[in-house]
Amino acid sequence: MKLILASQNKNKIAEIRAKLPQFTISGLDPTQFPNELLETGSTLEENALQKARQVFAITGCSCFADDTGLEVEALDGEPGVLSARYAGERRNSNDNMNLVLERLKNQPNRKARFKTVIALILNGKEYVFEGVCGGEITEQKSGDEGFGYDPIFLPEGRKETFAEMSMKEKGEISHRGRAVNKLVLFLGNYS
C-alpha cells in the first residue's frame, strides 16, 4: 500500500518508514507543495487533520499527517502546539531547547511529555491515532541523534535522552512510535 506522509522532514520520514517497512511511504513532493502546510489549529489533532486534508485535496491519495508537541508541566503545557516555533518563526531547534531550559532554570518540577497525533485519510475516511511518552526535561543538552527537543528529553525509566538513542531504540518507546504502532495495527486490520 502506498501512503503519502504530509511532511518534507527527512528525519521524520525515515523514522516512520522504519516503523512501516511493509508500506511505500513517500514525503511531500516539493513541486506540488512548495510552501509549508498550514497549521492554524489550537490543538495537535486539529493541526494533523488540517495537514492531511490539504494533502488529500491536492493529491487525492491516501495520506497521513502528524503533529507533535512537547508539553512541560511547570510551563502549563507549553510549548505544546507551538513546539516547532516556540522561540520564534525561524523554527530553530537549538533556540527552542534553550528557551525551555531557560524557563525551567531553578525549577524542581521538570516533568514533561511528548504527544503525537496522526491523522489518516484512507479512501476518503478520516481516522486519528495518538501516542504519548512521559519523561522529564534534563538540565542540559545531551546526545547527537534525533531532532527537535530530543537532546533535552529523558523518557521515563531511561538513563539516556532521545538524542542518545538510536532511531530504532527511540522508535520503540517514543510518542511517534506509539502513535505509528496504532496506525500500523489499524492498517493491518483494515484490508
Q: For residue range 105-160, what is the model confidence (pLDDT) as tens digits?
A: 999 999 999 999 999 999 999 999 999 999 999 999 999 988 899 999 999 999 99
What pLDDT does residue 17 have? 83
29 is catalytic: no
* Number of structural domains in the chain: 1
What SS3 string covers the chain?
CEEEECCCCHHHHHHHHHHCCCCEEECCCCCCCCCCCCCCCCCHHHHHHHHHHHHHHHHCCCEEEEEEEEEEHHHCCCEHHHHHHCCCCCCCHHHHHHHHHHHCCCCCCCEEEEEEEEEEEECCEEEEEEEEEEEEECCCCCCCCCCCCHHHEEECCCCCCHHHCCHHHHHHHCHHHHHHHHHHHHHHHHC
What pLDDT does residue 191 have? 55
Q: Supply the range of the domain harboring residue 113.
A: 2-190
Q: For residue range 155-182, what is the model confidence (pLDDT) as tens digits?
A: 999 999 999 999 889 988 999 889 989 9
Q: What is the CATH number of the domain that holds 74?
A: 3.90.950.10
Give me the catalytic one of 29, 66, 67, 150. Answer: 67
